[in-house]
Amino acid sequence: MSIQQKIQDLRNELREHNYNYYVLDNATISDYEFDVKLKELQGLEAQHPEFYDPNSPTLRVGGEVTKNFNTIVHEHRMYSLDNSYSKEDLLDWEKRIKKLVDGEVYYTCELKYDGASISLTYENGNLLRAVTRGDGTQGDEVTANIKTIKSVPLQLKGDFPPKFDIRGEIVLPFEGFNKMNEERLEAGEEPYRNPRNTASGSLKLQDSAEVAKRPLECLLYNITGHNLGFNTQFETLDKARQMGFKVPDAAKLATSIDEVLEFIAYWDVHRHDLPYETDGVVIKVNNLQQQEELGYTAKAPRWAMAYKFKAEQVSTRLNEITYQVGRTGAITPVANLEPVELAGTTVKRASLHNADQIEKLDIREGDEVFVEKGGEIIPKIIAVDMSKRPVNSVPTQYITHCPECQTELIRQEGDAKHYCPNYNGCNPQIIGRIQHYISRKAMDIEGLGGETVALLVNEGLISNYSDLYTLKKDEVMPLERMAEKSAENLINGIEASKQIPFERVLFAIGIRYVGETVAKKLAKHYKSIDAIVEATVEDLVSVDEIGDRIADSVVEFFASEENKTIIQKLRNHGLQLEVSADKLANQTDKLKGLSIVVSGVFETVSRTELKKLIEDNGGKVSSSISSKTNFLVAGDKMGPSKRTKAETLGVEIITEKDFLLKLK
């Protein structure tokens, strides 16, 4: 037998033992025998570097050091999920689904594990890269660290698509977490707070050998890619298991919402027997074609819902109410609490939302209050323990002036919050606007963080985001924690932001109520900032999904001479204030004013590409047929009820080929 063949045989054997032990939980040899074979392979690989394999089992021990984690754009966006907390929420969700898709709807129910989200990319059966969720659009590459996790296959088994992404959670089982803490206590170190944060922190350790020491596991639940050949979510879970992934076997196919509720009721009790943290159940429409038909909102898939188990509650003392000023001038009251353990973290503060909430619950300083984590993330006060209220307690008087600049607060009719109107003279507003401007989804200025922005404003170097473009390296060098290299990176990052496309600049400038999606719609419709400046409220509300509140806010923003001056400065500095010529070249008005429904499976282009073609040519993609629908693009396997409804309403039905001919 050749040396190369011996190395390959050892690799295959160790991969199989690894899979049996870490995925199937069924060891086929002893740890000692495994270690002997691993050492033999390490020796042969050291002697014969020409047979190097980046996915060899020997590389799981780590050793690679990553100083900087590269930012990678996800080929397929990682959406967050909408949350539900009751049977009524799920029934409402089911009603919405059944209005939008044809035929019976089945559901795949899976446990929602509380870990760190990860996306693994495989090409030709080998692990290509691992990327954290990040903001859903892009994340950090952590491949070296992920390779140390034994339940992540480096090479797949059986049949597999040529390229795909698989998503899951990196979790730290309770047993391993407790053992890690015992070792830390013995060494006189602080114990870790909870498994989830420890798992998440492990992914960004610079030394992969340190990650290898942690008993992390990877639980997978979703395969994403093009033309993968799967028909249902439940089928993809089974296929993932066959390929060698660790897929929890708790998943169940439910034929009705009643069966979904039975699954939830069972696991609400039995989740405490699981070896991992879990905080709910994820329910997905099982049929992948129906998923595609349902599509996405700006933030989440319409075809999935997370049911969150009832949040943990604790009681503690409210020591003081303070007030924060946001970038829009909105005032948020904050409860400063006696520190208390809640859902694995120490809680010291909770949002009180607004004056109405304080009045409704009659919350006062000195009260004993009940706190829970809303959606397991943001702590909130849900009630006051009146039996423990001090006798000298007095009702809370909401502040009347800004806590930062002392300007008298305003509150408009119908608005829950109070606002500080000192737009250009209130420091937290100025800092907040610039922090929003540089944020990842906006201008994404590398080398510039929120703390540095605050320093730049407080030192008088900038007073608005257009001032960033006049900064010099020598000016920022004296700032705290700023060295020559970091100052250079900051200036280079600011310069690079001049290439950011118009729709993100429009989002970045911080018009109230203009989020990412609205900014894209305005940019697409008006093509340039000059056209938006000239638009009236009446013009704006004629744009798809732009209502009175957004229209008023846009007009008010550009009516400000200060804002006009800042925009002119951005223009002078060379920022993108109109849609690029490349994008315009691919856009027409051929479908302007038309409402189009897309249904079925298509051959020449994918459903996503079809929707993009409609939008690029001025049309509006609608999810359901109505009397306002201009035509229905019908693909293969379109549901009969959509066809019937279109025929009843007299809506024209055209094929994919007919549609593509319309655009030529």
User: Which among 543, 518, 554, 547 has a CA at the least distance from the CA of 618?
Assistant: 543
Q: Of the candidates 355, 381, 357, which has an alpha carbon nearest to the alpha carbon of residue 369?
A: 381
Rounded to whole angstroms, the Cα distance separating 283 from 257 reads 10
- Coil/strand/helix, residue 570: helix
Planar angle of CA 154, 159, 160, nearest 5 degrees: 60
Q: How far apart are CA 465 and CA 509, in angstroms?
A: 8
Element holding 306 (H helix, E strand) = strand 304-308
Residue 105 and residue 285: Cα distance in Å, rounded?
7
Q: Where are the alpha helices (DSSP H) in 23-146?
A: 31-47, 87-100, 143-146
Nearest to 284 by CA among 351, 207, 223, 361: 223
Residue reference for tokens 């951005």: 570
| CA gap 576, 423 in Å, rounded | 25
How many CA atoms are closer than 13 Å to the CA of 75, on its beta-carbon side?
15
Token readout for 18 is 């690894």
Give dist(CA 318, CA 385) in Å, integer: 11
**Number of Cβ atoms within 10 Å of the Cβ of 438:** 23
Task: Please report which helix (H) or strand (E) contains residue 551, including its range.
Answer: helix 548-559
Catalytic residues: 112
Tokens of 305: 């819902």
If you search the block for the tokens 């509150």, which residue do you land on?
411
DSSP 3-state of 559:
helix
HSE, side-chain direction, 13 A CA sphere, residue 512: 15
Q: Residue 556, CB half-sphere, CA atoms under 13 Å: how many?
A: 12
State the virtual CA torsion across 453, 454, 460, 464 in degrees, nearest 10: 50
Give first-to-last CA distance, the chain, whole Å.
62
For residues 313 and 380, is the Cβ–Cβ distance under 8 A? no
Contact 420, 427 (CB under 8 A): no
Q: Counting Cβ atoms within 10 Å, is residue 392 exposed (0-12), middle (13-18) or buried (19+)?
A: exposed
Residue 609 host element (H or E): helix 607-616
Helices in 395-483 by DSSP H: which ranges?
427-438, 450-458, 473-476
Long-range Cβ pairs for the range 357-364 (8 Å, 24+): 358/321, 358/333, 358/396, 358/398, 359/396, 362/395, 363/318, 363/321, 363/335, 363/396, 364/318, 364/389, 364/393, 364/394, 364/395, 364/396
